[in-house]
Chains A and B, each alone.
Chain A
Amino acid sequence: MSFLGGAECSTAGNPLSQFSKHVQDDRTLQHDRLVGRGPGASMGGFRSTPASAPQDEMVNGFLHQNPNLPEIPLEQQAPLPHVHIDPNHAVHLHPQAATPMSPQASMEAAFNVPPGTQFSPEEFAKFQQMNATSTVAPSPAASVTTQPQAAMPMTMQPLAAPMYRPMMSHPMYQPMYGPQMMHMPQQPQQEVQGKGKERLVELDDSKWEEQFKQMELHDRQLREEEAAKTEEKDEAKAMEPELNKMDEQLHSETGYGDLESIWAGIQKEQEALRDLDDEENYVRFDNGSFDNTSWGINSGFGTGPIVEPYMFEQENIFQNEQNPFEEGLRIMREGGNLSLAALAFEAAVQKNPDHVEAWVHLGSAQAQNEKEEAAIRALEHALKIDPNNLDALMGLAVSYTNEGYDSVAYRTLERWLSVKYPQIIAPADVSAPAEMGFTDRAKLHERVTNLFLEAARLAPDGDHMDPDVQVGLGVLFYGAEEYDKAVDCFQAALHSSIQGSSNQREQVHLLWNRLGATLANSGRSEEAIAAYEKALAIHPNFVRARYNLGVSCINIGCHAEAAGHLLAALDMHKSVEKSFRDRARELLGVNKDDPSADARIEAMTTQNRSTTLYDTLRRVFTQMGRPDLAEKVVVGVDPDIFRGEFDF
């Protein structure tokens, strides 16, 4: 760069050497654009910034700093600035150039904005005068702010420096510049002019761009250099739409029209929060204390529910069955009564306590039978025998999610993944059980979700993805209440052409029910009901789907139908108990009319009972305005007493 350093260019003679000093400082601009884009930066915008004396000093300081710049009137400049500036503003520019005013006054006159926030025309004139080196890229905003300083052409830096320096040198201007450069290019000019407070249009990028283009036209000497730089310009141009898009996002994220309303919104929210906590010692999100990792790390088992050993029914009609496990499988296959199936599997594990498959099927049957607690106990037992049983792990994760033990559910899914995809997470790396606060739980969720996503990406295409991974992902998204994503996952599992354990014929009704439950909890009850119907078409005795159907009916206000479904579900439980009771009577050889025998038998058949159905039914009756019926709903009540009122 001979014109910067040569003997012919003394410090006094060449203004560029002055400017080159500031090149180092100019980085703030890049930082501002790419880093400091947060709401804080937007809020510091010049619109709400009051004029302050230091700024004026900066401007004056700048002007006096280069005394050896010749004072050439504006009109003598090769490209006439007013050609490119709005006529009404140009009117101001002319007289002003002729009659010297203080920079401050001229700014106000020319731009009619709060003082101290604008270029002065003089400054602009000086700046223009230097167009001997004007090889500025057509879009200064994009190029200056996105290219690393080192990559910038040297000839451009001197130009950029005087242009931005007065603004950047005061911290107040830093936030201002970013938003302005960002917003202006995408705003139509007329629209902007309409608003009183946005009369800064003449600083608009496109204006400057035109200006610079003009300068380029008049600048013959440096054509070659310019040609060398066209590549960079193109880059800058290509960058522009992307940046504009980012700006739009920035806008839409806030959801507010302008900065002031954002600020007002924040203020209001703060007010409300302050209002809420008058007591100092409440744990707040921002005081960081809850994030203390020393909390409960070694509490081991503390976080999950306390799982007790599985409780068997005392009398079991399958006790003397030759192969109760096969019998249970047959009942499940044929869509038979789930309570019966559970009894068959109970008999199987009583015969052979190490029969893992029987334990898993027992858990699965109890979960489908809307007896979550029994399911958890059975599945945990299965894992004691075989810690790597995939079906048991997945079933447990689902059950824990249903019961609200989210962190345990996430860890269980992690274990599942480590067994099936050890290449993604080694079994040794799974998270240790620990009591968790909200933040740790969110972190765990994110971690496990990412692992599952990684596993999902192993599949070559949508049709061949592992449906089980999709189910796991679905459960994870469901836990985080990201229902739309969960719906996608369950649907993907249903449509996958790869046979996994979750979409095999015996389990596909579970998948339909999971899809339905997710839809229901995201407020899409009608679609959910369609999914439940599919599940029930496959397995008519699927108590959980029937219960869920009842819940969806409640949600859409069909209380009578809801009660019908819930009673039907209860009846499925009860019918087995009844038939068993008859049999028990025979076994015990008691008189049918002896009430004390009934009580004894009752005690035998109530080991695994779900109160969910009763609770929900009671709620339905209350919502229907039938407290008389609600009173009658006690655990163990015979649904037959409601037959007159409801069809089921």
Chain B
Amino acid sequence: MSLKNDKFPASAAFDEINKALTASEATRKDAIKQGNAVFAFTLKNAAGETESWYIDLKNKGEVGKGLPEKPTVTLLLSDADFGALIAGKANAQKLFMSGKLKIKGDVMKATKLDPILKKAQTKAKL
């Protein structure tokens, strides 16, 4: 089942993250260990519609649609900004500082998002 919602082009990234997570058991266990949180994303597209996804890195290590029951941290941002974030063209810190990324819940956990997003990014390494 695809997690992508066509109205939110950047949401394809959730499929990417899901694939990366489920690629191997070891990866998933490792991701749970490092993340230890449930990240919820609420995206807002150009038309003003909102939709939520979550990355559970606490219990099951899965990506899904909708708002989870108890997200550790919820991130609210526009679909375009999320796309830039996934593409590595923006970073969470700068989005947050400029007010384009809103965070509800444990802000500290939000900084742990970078390693997780890196999984969906195709970025050169030093």
- Whether A276 pairs with B102 at a CB distance below 8 angstroms is yes
- Chain B nearest CB, measured from A550 CB (Å): 9
- B-contact 0/1 string along A467-483, CB 8 Å cutoff: 00000000100100100
Which residue of B has the minimal Cβ distance to A289? B107
Cα–Cα distance between A303 and B114 once the two chains are bound (Å): 12
Q: A510 — nearest CB in chain B belongs to which residue?
A: B126
A-facing mask of B11-34, CB < 8 A → 1, else 0? 000001001100110110010011
B76 contacts chain A at the CB level, 8 A cutoff: yes
B118 adjacent to chain A (CB < 8 Å): yes
Of residues 526 to 563 in A, which have CB atoms within 8 Å of B's CB atoms? Answer: 528, 544, 547-548, 551-552, 554-555
- CA A17 to CA B125, docked complex, whole Å: 73
CA distance A615 to B119 in the complex (A): 8
Cβ of A285 and Cβ of B98 under 8 Å apart? yes
- Minimum CB–CB distance from A23 to chain B (whole Å) comes to 44
Q: Which one of A281, A398, A441, A609 lies within 8 Å of B126 (CB-CB)?
A: A398
A295 to B106, CA, bound (A): 10
**Interface positions of B from 78 to 126, Cβ below 8 Å from A:** 78, 88, 91-94, 96-100, 102-104, 107-108, 110-111, 114-119, 122-126
Tell me how far the C-beta of A208 lies from the nearest C-beta in chain B, rounded to whole angstroms: 42
Query: Contacts A305-B34, A521-B88 hold; do A438 and B96 have CB atoms under 8 A apart?
Result: yes
Cβ contact within 8 Å between A279 and B104: yes
Report the Cα distance A619→B125, complex, angstroms.
17
How many inter-chain contacts with C-beta < 8 Å in the A-B complex? 124
Q: Are B126 and A517 in contact (CB under 8 A)?
A: yes
Q: Which residue of A lies closest to B20 (CB)?
A: A615
Residues of the B chain whose Cβ atoms lie less than 8 Å from the Cβ of A115: none
A513 to nearest B CB, angstroms?
A: 7
Which A291-315 residues have a C-beta within 8 angstroms of B?
A: 295-296, 303, 305-306
Residues of A within 8 A of B97 (CB): 285, 438-439, 442
Known: A438-B97, A441-B111. Contact between A404 and B118, CB under 8 A? yes
Nearest chain B residue, comparing its CB with the CB of A523: B89
Query: Shortest beta-carbon distance, B101 to chain A, in Å?
Result: 9
- Knowing A284-B99, A305-B34, the reply to whether A406 touches B114 (Cβ < 8 A) is yes
Contacts of A406 in B (CB 8 A): 114
Q: Are B27 and A611 in contact (CB under 8 A)?
A: yes
Residue among A438, A528, A544, A551 with the most chain B CB within 10 A? A438
A275 CB contact (under 8 Å) in B24, B48, B74: B48
Check B27–A283 contact: CB distance below 8 A: no
B9 nearest CB across to chain A (Å):
15
Is the Cβ of A305 less than 8 Å from the Cβ of B93? no
Complex interface: chain B residues within 8 A of A518 (CB): 124, 126
Count chain A residues whose beta carbon lies closer than 8 angstroms to a beta carbon of B.
62
Complex Cα–Cα for A441 and B114 (A):
13
Does A635 sit at the interface, judged by CB under 8 A?
yes
A151, CB-defined interface residue at 8 Å: no
Contact B111 A407 (CB under 8 A): yes
> Which A residues between 436 and 469 are near B, CB-CB below 8 angstroms?
436-439, 441-442
B99 to chain A, nearest CB (A): 5
Chain A residues with CB below 8 A from B34, complex form: 305-306
Is residue A634 contacting chain B, with contact meaning CB distance below 8 A? yes
Distance, CA A333 to CA B117, complexed state (A): 35
* Residue on A nearest B123 in the bound complex, by CB: A521
Contact between chains at A520 and B124 (CB < 8 Å): yes
**Residues from chain B with Cβ under 8 Å of A619 in the complex:** 16, 122
Q: Is the beta-carbon distance between B126 and A635 smaller than 8 angstroms?
A: no
Whether, in the assembled complex, A580 has its beta carbon less than 8 Å from a beta carbon of chain B, the answer is no
Which residue of the partner chain A has the closest CB to B118?
A404
Whole-angstrom distance between the Cβ of B86 and the nearest chain A Cβ: 12
CB contact between B91 and one of A273, A284, A481, A513 (< 8 Å): that residue: A481
Closest A residue to B27 by CB, please name it: A611
A283 in contact with B103 given A435-B108, A442-B93, A634-B23 (CB within 8 Å)? yes
Q: Which residues in B have their C-beta under 8 angstroms from that of A281?
A: 104
Q: Which residues of chain B (34-55) have a CB below 8 Å from chain A?
A: 34, 44, 48
Report the minimum CB–CB distance from B115 to chain A (whole Å). 4
- B residues less than 8 Å from A305 (CB atoms): 34, 115
Interchain CA distance A285-B44 in the complex, whole Å: 19
In whole angstroms, how far apart are the Cα atoms of A296 and B122 in the complex? Answer: 31
Given the known inter-chain contacts A277-B102, A282-B103, A285-B97, please indicate yes or no for A403 contacting B108, CB distance below 8 A. Answer: no
A565 an interface residue at 8 Å Cβ cutoff? no
Per-residue CB proximity of B41-76 to A under 8 Å, as 1/0?
Answer: 000100010000000000000000000000000101
In the bound complex, CA of A103 to CA of B78 (Å) = 55
Nearest B residue (CB) for A442: B93
Query: Which A residue's beta carbon lies closest to that of B44?
Result: A276
Across the interface, do B114 and A528 meet the contact criterion of CB distance under 8 Å?
Answer: no
Are B99 and A273 in contact, CB atoms less than 8 angstroms apart? yes
Residue of A whose beta carbon sits closest to that of B125? A402
Q: A233 near B: Cβ within 8 Å?
A: no
Central interface residue in A305, A616, A634, by most chain B CB within 10 Å: A305
Q: Complex Cα distance A518/B125, Å?
A: 8
Instruction: Please determine whether B23 and A614 come into contact, CB atoms closer than 8 angstroms.
Output: yes
Q: Closest chain A residue to B104 by CB distance?
A: A282
Q: Give the chain B neighbours of A295 by CB distance below 8 A.
A: 107-108
Residues of B within 8 A of A407 (CB): 111
**Who on chain A is nearest to B78 by CB?**
A276
User: Quick check: A438 and B104 within 8 Å, CB to CB?
Assistant: no
Q: How far is the CB of B13 from chain A (nearest CB, A)?
A: 11
The 6 closest A-B pairs by CB, nearest first: A404-B114, A282-B102, A517-B124, A520-B124, A404-B115, A438-B93
| 28 intermolecular pairs with C-beta atoms under 8 Å apart | A273-B100, A275-B48, A276-B78, A283-B103, A284-B102, A290-B103, A295-B107, A305-B34, A305-B115, A306-B33, A370-B125, A404-B115, A404-B118, A406-B114, A435-B111, A437-B108, A438-B96, A438-B110, A475-B126, A513-B126, A514-B126, A518-B124, A521-B88, A551-B124, A609-B26, A611-B23, A611-B27, A635-B24
Q: Knowing that A276-B77, A305-B115, A370-B125 touch, tell me 19 more A-B residue pairs with CB under 8 angstroms.
A: A276-B44, A290-B103, A295-B108, A401-B126, A404-B116, A404-B117, A435-B111, A436-B111, A438-B93, A442-B97, A475-B126, A514-B126, A518-B124, A521-B124, A551-B123, A554-B122, A611-B23, A615-B23, A618-B19
Residues of A within 8 A of B (CB): 273, 275-277, 279, 281-286, 290, 295-296, 303, 305-306, 370, 372-373, 398, 401-407, 435-439, 441-442, 475, 478, 481, 513-514, 516-518, 520-521, 528, 544, 547-548, 551-552, 554-555, 609, 611, 614-616, 618-619, 634-635
